[in-house]
């Protein structure tokens, strides 16, 4: 890792101070204490609520020069304190008189300097709100700079604040109601390049408002593909008819990362990390985001630079790094998510069968995970589309690596689902082909050998000789030949196998339609278990759970005398790591060192060292690039999630691209 590499992370915080209403001096002390806390937590951007130096509910007191001067003095004190106590960027609110006009402003401070002042644009004057009574809107201002302590300070809503030493880190500021309008000013700011929006707010509490407010913030972060820091005024603001709860939120591109405890009577600091890499990739890959900037008449924003403190590589992210990003979280939405995935697969296959109208539908069932999920999708499709099960011809095709356990599970699965299962032993077919090809499996000359003699020899094959690609490929293609010559073939291979090229070209790689094509291996396993628990009971469920518990294997290499089978994960590494790499590499385009950094912080089922993670990531990258040619001609199949390798959809890549730059980045 490179020293002081942030890996695209910016640590942000929303402060909810216990406000002293109409007491700017005390509020400055409270803000300083929160600054010190934020500094100890390595916070980069610290946002306070609207009018945090005075309070939002001062009303007629805003016209008092004593309050205005006290707020100005408090700001001066905070600017001075920030130089010693906070290395990041600080945003506070105060009333500011400019040319005898009063504005509700946000002050943006960085390491002892006042970078800019931004007035509130939209002033609510309805129901309980009377902003327009006290303040002028931003568009009433006739100046672009104001004098503060003898210095000209940029003033207006056309300000963006960019970190010179952190790529893609640009802040935009809006104040409370600016978000609640039909076209929030943050929308234009993000189209102009802002990646993080800070909202200084004083939103009071009424029944149901918390949900609306939360949804508003999360949806705006999604619409703008941005990070969003929302700092709401706390209970100290409550006075007369209004109660404030101190609702603070941090969101990123439609995901709520953190939320404060409302109605707390202590100072709160809500802290979370914003991932700029995710935002950058989402914006780059979403063409309509760029179009939004072209068709809208954006202001000519002034860009003001600042620097954020350097980070040490030992800094861990506050984000929860999910070791299994493809698997639905354990929540009330869990069943809905799994059911939706299953229905997408069924709907896609049903549509294809309706259009193709095949007389015979064929599927290979090995007793392993992938073919089981595909068979379950087919079973459900037959029921939903009222297709007679007699049109299905399922095959289980034992070969030299088939185990009694998987063969028995395949047989039982056909019985449980009432789908006719034909059993075809492919060993003689493969033996004859090796003879025709003059191939000597594992160095065994087949002249004057019988199938039984070969099987006996393979049983006692030493481990160091168990490598023969032709031996494996002939079996895989023999199975596909039987399926292809029997009807409309349902594919079974999954997304992880496509990413790694862990499939035989023109064998399990090929079908007429593949319902599993965008389901990664970890999710396949999870879905089969979920279907077992929610669609079946008794012996059927037990068979499915036994399949889930079976070691993953292509069952192409011979079983040893002690019953040991070919293990996929012993050859290419754990699928949970590969799927983790796949998600962050494809979904967010993250560079290899950041993927390693994230993987080191994720809690996997089995602990991995940094060297193990790097070694397997290098294997993943090499195999991913080497096997694009297989993905360039895969069959149709339904897109299920945000990651897909369809050459007609999400992933277009030259088959001859070289991996060197990614390997060099990983090893740098």
Its sign, for the CA torsion 496, 500, 504, 506, is: positive
Token code pair at residue 182:
């039909």
- Provide the annotated active-site residues: 50, 120, 176
Angle at 525 between CA 524 and CA 527, to 5 degrees: 65
Helices 660-667 and 592-601 pack at an angle, to 10 degrees, of 50
Task: Determine contact, residues 313/2, Cβ cutoff 8 Å.
Answer: yes
Q: Distance (Å, rounded) from C-alpha 502 to C-alpha 264?
A: 54
- DSSP string covering 188-223, please? HHHHTT--EEEEEE--B--TTHHHHHHHHHHHHHHH
- Provide φ and ψ at 475, rounded to 5°: -65, -45
The Cβ of residue 305 has, within 10 Å, a number of other Cβ atoms equal to: 11
Q: Distance (Å, rounded) from C-alpha 469 to C-alpha 437?
A: 14
Q: Distance (Å, rounded) from C-alpha 546 to C-alpha 396?
A: 17
Q: Distance (Å, rounded) from C-alpha 168 to C-alpha 188?
A: 16
What count of Cα atoms within 13 Å lies in the side-chain half-sphere of residue 346?
A: 18
Q: CA 227 → CA 113, 133, 230, 280, 612, distances in Å?
A: 24, 32, 10, 11, 33
Nearest to 92 by CA among 69, 110, 66, 67: 110
Task: Determine contact, residues 138/120, Cβ cutoff 8 Å.
Answer: yes
Task: Determine contact, residues 54/275, Cβ cutoff 8 Å.
Answer: no
Q: Distance (Å, rounded) from C-alpha 282 to C-alpha 587?
A: 9
Determine which helix (DSSP H) or strand (DSSP E) holds 603, and give its type and residue range: none
């Amino acid at each position: 890792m490179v020293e002081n590499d942030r890996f695209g992370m910016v640590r942000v915080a929303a402060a909810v101070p216990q406000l002293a209403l109409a007491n700017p001096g005390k509020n400055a002390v409270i803000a300083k204490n929160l600054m010190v806390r934020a500094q100890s937590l390595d916070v980069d951007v610290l946002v306070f609520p609207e009018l945090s130096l005075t309070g939002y509910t001062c009303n007629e007191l805003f016209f008092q020069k004593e309050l205005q001067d006290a707020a100005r003095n408090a700001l001066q004190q905070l600017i001075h304190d920030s130089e010693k106590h906070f290395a990041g960027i600080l945003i506070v609110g105060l009333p500011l008189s400019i040319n005898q006009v009063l504005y509700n402003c946000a002050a943006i401070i960085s390491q002892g300097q006042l970078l800019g002042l931004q007035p509130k644009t939209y002033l609510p004057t309805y129901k309980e709100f009377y902003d327009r009574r006290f303040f002028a809107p931003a568009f009433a201002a006739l100046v672009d700079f104001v004098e503060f302590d003898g210095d000209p300070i940029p003033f207006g809503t056309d300000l963006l604040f960019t970190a010179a030493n952190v790529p893609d880190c640009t802040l935009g500021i809006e104040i409370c109601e600016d978000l609640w309008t039909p076209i929030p000013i943050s929308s234009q700011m993000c189209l102009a390049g802002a990646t993080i929006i800070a909202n200084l707010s004083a939103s009071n509490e009424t029944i149901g408002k918390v949900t609306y407010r939360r949804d508003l913030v999360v949806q705006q972060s999604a619409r703008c593909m941005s990070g969003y820091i929302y700092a709401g005024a706390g209970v100290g603001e409550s006075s007369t008819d209004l109660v404030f709860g101190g609702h603070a939120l941090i969101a990123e591109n439609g995901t709520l990362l953190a939320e404060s405890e409302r109605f707390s009577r202590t100072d709160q600091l809500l802290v979370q990390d914003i991932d700029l890499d995710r935002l950058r990739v989402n914006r780059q890959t979403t063409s309509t985001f760029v179009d939004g900037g072209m068709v809208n008449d954006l202001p000519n924003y002034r860009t003001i630079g600042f620097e954020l403190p350097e980070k040490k590589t030992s800094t861990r992210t506050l984000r929860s790094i999910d070791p299994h990003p493809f698997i639905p979280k354990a929540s009330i939405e869990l069943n809905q998510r799994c059911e939706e995935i299953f229905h997408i697969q069924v709907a896609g296959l049903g549509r294809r069968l309706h259009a193709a109208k095949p007389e015979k539908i064929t599927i290979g069932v090995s007793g392993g995970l992938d073919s089981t999920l595909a068979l379950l999708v087919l079973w459900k499709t037959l029921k939903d589309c009222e297709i007679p099960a007699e049109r299905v011809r399922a095959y289980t095709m034992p070969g030299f690596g088939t185990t009694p356990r998987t063969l028995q599970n395949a047989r039982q699965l056909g019985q449980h689902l009432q789908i006719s299962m034909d059993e075809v032993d492919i060993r003689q077919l493969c033996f004859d082909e090796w003879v025709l090809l003059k191939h000597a499996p594992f160095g065994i000359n087949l002249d004057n050998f019988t199938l039984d003699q070969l099987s006996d020899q393979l049983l006692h094959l030493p481990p160091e000789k168990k490598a023969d690609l032709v031996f494996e490929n002939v079996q895989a293609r023999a199975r596909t030949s039987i399926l292809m010559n029997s009807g409309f073939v349902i594919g079974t291979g999954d997304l992880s196998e496509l990413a790694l090229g862990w499939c035989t070209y023109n064998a399990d790689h090929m079908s007429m339609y593949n319902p599993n094509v965008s389901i990664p291996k970890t999710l396949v396993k999870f879905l089969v278990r979920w279907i077992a628990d929610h669609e079946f009971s008794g012996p059927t469920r037990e068979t499915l759970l036994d399949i889930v518990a079976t070691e993953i294997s292509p069952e192409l290499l011979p079983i040893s005398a002690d019953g040991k089978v070919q293990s996929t994960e012993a050859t290419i590494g754990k699928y949970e790591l590969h799927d983790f790499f796949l998600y962050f590499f494809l979904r967010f385009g993250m560079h290899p060192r950041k993927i390693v950094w994230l993987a080191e912080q994720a809690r996997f089922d089995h602990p991995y060292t940094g060297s193990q993670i790097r070694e397997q990531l290098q294997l993943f990258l090499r195999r991913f690039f080497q096997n694009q040619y297989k993905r360039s001609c895969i069959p149709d199949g339904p897109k299920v999630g945000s990651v897909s390798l369809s050459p007609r959809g999400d992933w277009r890549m030259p088959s001859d691209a070289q991996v060197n730059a990614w390997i060099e980045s990983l090893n740098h």
